[in-house]
Chains A and B, each alone.
Chain A
Amino acid sequence: DTGVSQDPRHKITKRGQNVTFRCDPISEHNRLYWYRQTLGQGPEFLTYFQNEAQLEKSRLLSDRFSAERPKGSFSTLEIQRTEQGDSAMYLCASSLEGFSRGTEAFFGQGTRLTVV
């Protein structure tokens, strides 16, 4: 499978615990996005990387959220001290950015987080 891969697919955690999600983009893609989606809403931007550089982090994102993309390959998203409001689908997408307008972004299967 050469698509975007996310792990785990589902995560149930107790409030206050830390969780980490992983995303493996399409192999030649240099841009990687993280989004969060709750029921009835469109995906909400969290952050994105160009290679290993984190270009932007949403100002809506609290300091409990951190993301990395070491060596410009896979990425991890960590949520510290989880709260019930963090329950959502966390989506990763990747694209290949060139010298023009860029190309389409493709999503992974998502990680569904439930905080109890």
Chain B
Amino acid sequence: QKEVEQNSGPLSVPEGAIASLNCTYSDRGSQSFFWYRQYSGKSPELIMSIYSNGDKEDGRFTAQLNKASQYVSLLIRDSQPSDSATYLCAVRTDRGSTLGRLYFGRGTQLTVWP
């Protein structure tokens, strides 16, 4: 079982819509969760971090965390064509010898069409 699972997509939404990206993880001891955006040929860019159950909002982005369900999501409101990218979910382990290692999902490719 992979540590971090994401729907690979592609996910296609019209401009102005809400894009919903989902991620599940296997390690119940994980405490830190991140969303990165990666444009084609570029390196990942951190856009959100979340540590506690519930919602965290930053501009058009909302991260949601449910540790009981081992589930984290990212909502993008008022999606723009410039949001078209691959979104990577990353989970940080905080146990023993793997303290601080980041595990990444395969990413979900999002396309926002005008």
Q: Does B25 contact A (CB under 8 A)?
A: no
Number of residues of chain B lying within 8 A (CB) of chain A:
28
Interface of A, helix, strand, loop or mixed by DSSP? strand
- Residue A85 at the chain B interface, CB threshold 8 Å: no
Instruction: Check: B94 CB closer than 8 A to any chain A CB.
Output: yes
- Are A42 and B51 interface neighbours, CB within 8 A? no
Q: A33-B102, A45-B102 are in contact. Are A101 and B51 (CB under 8 A)?
A: yes
The reply on B81 being an interface residue by CB < 8 A is: no
Q: Which residues of chain A have C-beta atoms less than 8 A from B106's C-beta?
A: 40-42
Which segment, of A13-21, A62-70, A74-82, A103-111, faces chain B? A103-111
Q: How far is the CA of A18 from the CA of B49 in the complex (A)?
A: 37
> Across the interface, do A56 and B97 meet the contact criterion of CB distance under 8 Å?
yes
Chain A residues with Cβ below 8 Å from B46 are: 104-107
Which partner residue on chain A sits nearest B94 by CB separation?
A101
Besides the contacts A42-B107, A43-B102, A93-B102, what 17 more A-B pairs have beta carbons closer than 8 Å?
A31-B100, A33-B102, A35-B104, A42-B6, A42-B106, A45-B102, A97-B100, A101-B31, A101-B51, A102-B92, A102-B100, A104-B34, A105-B46, A107-B43, A107-B46, A109-B42, A110-B42
Alpha-carbon distance A106/B46, docked complex (angstroms): 7
Chain B 1-25 interface residues, beta-carbon cutoff 8 Å to A: 4, 6
Q: Determine if B80 is an interface residue (Cβ-Cβ < 8 Å).
A: no
| Chain A residues closer than 8 Å to B55, beta-carbon distance | none
Q: How far is A17 from B92 in the complex, measured between Cα atoms in Å? A: 34
Residue-wise, chain B 79-114 has the 8 Å CB interface mask toward A (1 for contact) of 000000000101010100111111111110000000
Contact across chains for A42 and B104 when beta carbons are under 8 A apart: yes
CA distance A89 to B43 in the complex (A): 9
Counting CB contacts under 8 A, is B78 at the interface?
Answer: no
- Neighbouring B residues of A95 by C-beta, 8 Å: 100
